[in-house]
Chain A
Amino acid sequence: MLSINLWEISSFADKVFALKELHVSDNPCLQTNVTIAADKDRVKAISAIHPDCGCEGTKTSHFSPGIVENKETLTRFVFSPVHTDRKGNIKPSVFSHVSTFGCSVQREDIANDEELISFITKYRDKNANHNCLGVLTASCSSLRNIKINNAQNRIVCVYDTSEEDNPAHAEIHQSQHVITDADLVELRAKLFEIFTQKNLQNYREGVLLNSIVK
């Protein structure tokens, strides 16, 4: 696979142009995702190169167990205390990566308990001051049906972005139809409305909580 160091390209337009030039493989979505895995313009670049959620029908990772189906349930793990209010409730800011790196979620049908425990443990190893504060769950179809501005355009894309040690990893991205900053604020509201908050005692019968505490 061709490789490119996008960190050396400062202009967003130049990044998109360079990525389009790279699309010589059979799976351009996979190539885009792998190439810009750590780029701060990741969501915007993917939506510019593959508009209208153009990568939902193909694998975007070498470790993919398959595309994310509408019937799947997705879980967002909340770690940073910054995302909880004075009463411990989770705030909409937890979804703000939907416009930057992509909002990470776990696919309930794919993830087994051991993989989730490993995922949480690795996160905490890297971020000693953070604990898992709870989870948020939503159906994939409800996310893909989000609309704003009374238009019918797709606003949210859900991509399979499996990782080698976390095969159930997926991401929520805003589409190119989120245009203004106010659109993005509205999108946070929609996500906050759709996701249901659970504490770890009520998620998977508390098995993760018991394992993490041990």
Chain B
Amino acid sequence: MLNTIGATAAASSKFLSSGLCAPTFHPQQEWIQRERCFTRRDPVTRTFRGEGKRTVQTEIFVQTTLIARDTTVQELIIGQITSWSLFGKNWDGEGADQPRMNSIRDAIDFTRLLNHTLLDPEPMLLASGNISLFWHNNQLYADLEFLGEKRIAYFIKKQDITHKNIISFEDVIPEIFKHLLKT
């Protein structure tokens, strides 16, 4: 997803200092705003053809450029999980339970802890209403189900060695996942 927007806006109230303004990050939207600000010019006296001399003041513009960036996979996952919280019972047409908020919260908290050293997962919504994160490639199968109360039931198979348990997490990724899910 990529957004590029350009805009020019007239400064309205007080004059701005020269040079680049500080970039503004808008977390709800997928762009960074950077404003180029121009120095106010003092009023000058100019001669206009057929009108004589007049004191005028230059208009002040703020050049606003919205620099595009890609939505991160992490943001996509969190967005998808969040959207599932709107589902009611029977969201799959087969009698599934309503998504469980405790599980949703834990899955989002865990996803926020993921960084570039770990592979990108796929989120899953289960018939029980729990959320799970899923990794799958030629050498790795990993399924982490969020049970609520910061507990994770997991099954990981990496290079034919399996790992399975129930584990708690708080503010950091548990060591076993750092090792098994790294890129």
Q: Are B124 and A93 in contact (CB under 8 A)?
A: yes
Closest to A38 in B: B95
Most buried by A among B144, B147, B164: B164
Binds B, one of A58-66, A137-145, A184-192: A184-192
In the complex, the answer to whether A93 meets B93 with C-beta atoms within 8 Å is no
Let me know if B125 is at the binding interface, CB within 8 A: yes
> Which residues of chain B come closer than 8 Å to A96, judged between CB atoms?
96, 126-128
Q: Which residues of B contact A97 (CB under 8 A)?
A: 94-96, 127
Known: A40-B97, A96-B127. A188 touches B143 (CB 8 A): yes
- Residue-wise, chain B 99-111 has the 8 Å CB interface mask toward A (1 for contact) of 0000000000000
Do residues A181 and B145 form an inter-chain contact, with CB atoms below 8 A? yes
Q: How far is the CB of B75 from chain A (nearest CB, A)?
A: 13
Between A83, A96, A123, the greatest number of chain B beta carbons within 10 A of the residue's beta carbon is seen for A96
Size of interface on B: residues with Cβ below 8 Å to A? 30
Q: In the docked arrangement, what's the CA distance between A40 and B94, Å? A: 11
State the majority secondary structure of interface residues on A: helix
| Shortest distance between the CB of B181 and any CB in chain A (Å) | 15
Given known pairs A80-B92, A186-B164, the reply for A100 and B127 (CB within 8 Å) is yes
A39 to chain B, nearest CB (A): 10
The B interface, classified by DSSP as helix, strand, loop or mixed, is strand
The CA of A166 and the CA of B134, in the complex, are separated in Å by 33
Point out the residue from B76, B134, B153 that lies within 8 Å of A91, measured CB to CB. B134
Q: Known interface pairs A79-B92, A79-B93, A80-B91. Does A189 touch B128 (Cβ–Cβ under 8 Å)?
A: no
Q: Is the CB of B95 within 8 A of A181?
A: no
Q: Is A205 an interface residue (CB 8 A)?
A: no
19 residue pairs from A and B, CB less than 8 Å apart: A79-B93, A85-B134, A86-B76, A91-B122, A92-B134, A96-B127, A97-B94, A99-B127, A100-B96, A100-B128, A101-B95, A180-B153, A181-B145, A181-B147, A182-B153, A185-B144, A185-B154, A185-B155, A193-B141
Interface residue ranges, B against A (CB under 8 Å): 76, 84, 91-97, 122, 124-128, 132, 134, 141, 143-145, 147, 153-155, 157, 162, 164-166
